[in-house]
A and B are shown apart, each in its own frame.
Chain A
């Protein structure tokens, strides 16, 4: 039943010389990823992960271990880090209180800076700057709201635009290859 493309995270075993020994520290330097050291690899995160259940190749435990080993390139270029459904089961159930959901966000932010951002998320940020929400305002929606006597929606949000520009998120380029 699963049509998700299997993507090998790396075709050959990774040798020691390819590892980036600083990667673990680099990730943990972010306040949202501090707790990673406490992970002892029990796999409770993966066991309760809905994505892992429908697509077993995706595994929070595996990603956490890869970070700890220093597999920088393999982690940041992996499509897997974008597959989290943000259900929070992993952090909710972790016996060591590791907030893997937050760690994954740190990894995604790093990957985005290095050119691996999925086009959909880049597009959505651009949209938010235009209308304040993640969708363009379509005439059919405006009409429907009017018919139902629901209040109109404000479209021009200058404060948001300025705030977003402060973080330079709008400078992030989507990754070249598509899904």
Chain B
């Protein structure tokens, strides 16, 4: 089924619209129909901190909205993907589902357990496939060396994703990048977390985590980072300047989202269709290598 409810989450539609723009373009290109459900709310992942039940209820509300329209969900944010997939997993238990539904019924909602959640990269990987992507490539990206970053909740917990990925040795983003013609590098800190979920509590911890990965990448020949989560994007992109000032570093590494890289390969307009002009670290270096 190439029709999904598009789950935008909180951050993408407000602060990283280029991710949404490029994702919509790429999906349209491959005939993946995206339905906007205005009732969707925050996935609840952060509310779990204060009250696990609130998080569970918020995630289930979203599942119920999609189920009412007989749609599976396509996510952009890794964390939303994890939160919703974990909730689906938890609600397979009838007692839990009944307890949650009893509360949801107070606002006229019910979740029967029929929704699947897939991140956009997983949809591209499974529904479209690297082979098909490769055949559609219109620009030459072979001069690009990029560092993939998966996003923790895209991979873990493994049990919530039907064993789709191998968290300690992931491959899907590497293959999706290869399909565009660009070269995905291997690097030691590949699995290192961006720290996005601890940012509201400690910016210093995030700064340390971000430096760990950027220091590794600074020692390698790499043109950009390619991500599949807007929160990871904000951590690696937005903090570079501040870390440079505070810790005397000289980071200037462009960070882009996978649908932007894919769109480039497929011939999309870099500005109008992929929003590559909206990046604070200019991706001109990348564009110069694309022919």
Q: A-side interface residues toward B, CB under 8 Å?
A: 1-5, 30, 32, 50-51, 53-55, 79, 82-89, 91-93, 99, 101, 105-106, 108-109, 112, 117-118, 120-122, 124-125, 128, 132-135, 137-138, 141, 144-145, 148, 150-151, 153-154, 157-160, 162-164, 166-169, 172, 179
| CB under 8 Å from chain A, chain B span 149-197 | 152-153, 155-158, 167-168, 191-193, 195-197
A1 and B211 within 8 A (CB): yes
B58 within 8 A of A: yes
CB neighbours (8 Å) of B11 from chain A are 134-135
B61 and A163 within 8 A (CB): yes
From A89, A121, A148, A158, B275 is in contact (CB under 8 Å) with: A148
From B51, B192, B204, A167 is in contact (CB under 8 Å) with: B51
B109 within 8 A of A: yes
Instruction: Name which residue of chain A comes closest to B194, CB basis.
Output: A85
CB neighbours (8 Å) of B57 from chain A are 163-164, 166-167
> In whole angstroms, what is the CA distance A163 to B108 when docked?
11
B38 within 8 A of A: yes
CB neighbours (8 Å) of A125 from chain B are 47, 50, 54
A92 and B156 within 8 A (CB): yes
> In whole angstroms, what is the CA distance A48 to B108 when docked?
43
> Given contacts A50-B212, A84-B198, A134-B46, could you give 20 more A-B pairs where the C-beta distance is less than 8 Å?
A1-B208, A54-B205, A85-B152, A85-B197, A86-B79, A86-B198, A88-B153, A89-B191, A91-B157, A92-B167, A106-B52, A109-B50, A121-B201, A135-B14, A138-B14, A141-B17, A159-B61, A160-B41, A168-B51, A179-B201
CB neighbours (8 Å) of B38 from chain A are 151, 153-154
A112 and B50 within 8 A (CB): yes
Instruction: Name which residue of chain B comes closest to A166, CB basis.
Output: B103
Contact flag A51-B198 (CB < 8 Å), given A1-B208, A87-B156, A109-B52: yes
A151 and B36 within 8 A (CB): yes
CB neighbours (8 Å) of A137 from chain B are 14
B107 and A163 within 8 A (CB): yes
CB neighbours (8 Å) of B47 from chain A are 124-125, 128, 164, 169
B32 within 8 A of A: no
From A2, A86, A150, A166, B197 is in contact (CB under 8 Å) with: A86
B128 within 8 A of A: no
Q: Can you list 27 A-B contacts with CB-CB less than 8 angstroms, sorted by A residue number?
A: A4-B208, A50-B209, A53-B212, A54-B208, A83-B201, A84-B197, A86-B197, A86-B198, A88-B156, A106-B52, A109-B52, A112-B50, A120-B200, A124-B47, A133-B14, A134-B11, A134-B42, A138-B14, A141-B13, A145-B13, A150-B13, A150-B17, A150-B21, A151-B38, A157-B41, A168-B51, A169-B50
B123 within 8 A of A: no
Number of A-B contacts (CB under 8 A): 195
B245 within 8 A of A: no
Contact flag A162-B107 (CB < 8 Å), given A1-B208, A83-B198, A133-B41: yes
Q: B-side interface residues toward A, CB under 8 Å?
A: 9-11, 13-15, 17, 20-21, 24, 36, 38-42, 45-54, 57-58, 61, 79, 82, 103-104, 106-109, 152-153, 155-158, 167-168, 191-193, 195-198, 200-202, 204-205, 207-209, 211-212, 247, 275
From B48, B193, B207, A50 is in contact (CB under 8 Å) with: B193
Contact flag A51-B51 (CB < 8 Å), given A88-B153, A154-B38, A159-B107: no
- Residue with the greatest number of chain A CB neighbours at <10 A, chosen from B10, B57, B82: B10
A134 and B21 within 8 A (CB): no
A172 and B50 within 8 A (CB): yes
CB neighbours (8 Å) of B24 from chain A are 150
CB neighbours (8 Å) of B9 from chain A are 133
Instruction: Name which residue of chain B comes closest to A168, CB basis.
Output: B51
CB neighbours (8 Å) of A3 from chain B are 204, 207-208
A4 and B51 within 8 A (CB): no
From A51, A120, A154, B205 is in contact (CB under 8 Å) with: A51
From B191, B205, B211, A55 is in contact (CB under 8 Å) with: B205
Instruction: Name which residue of chain B comes closest to A91, CB basis.
Output: B157
CB neighbours (8 Å) of B153 from chain A are 86, 88
From B45, B58, B167, B196, A160 is in contact (CB under 8 Å) with: B58
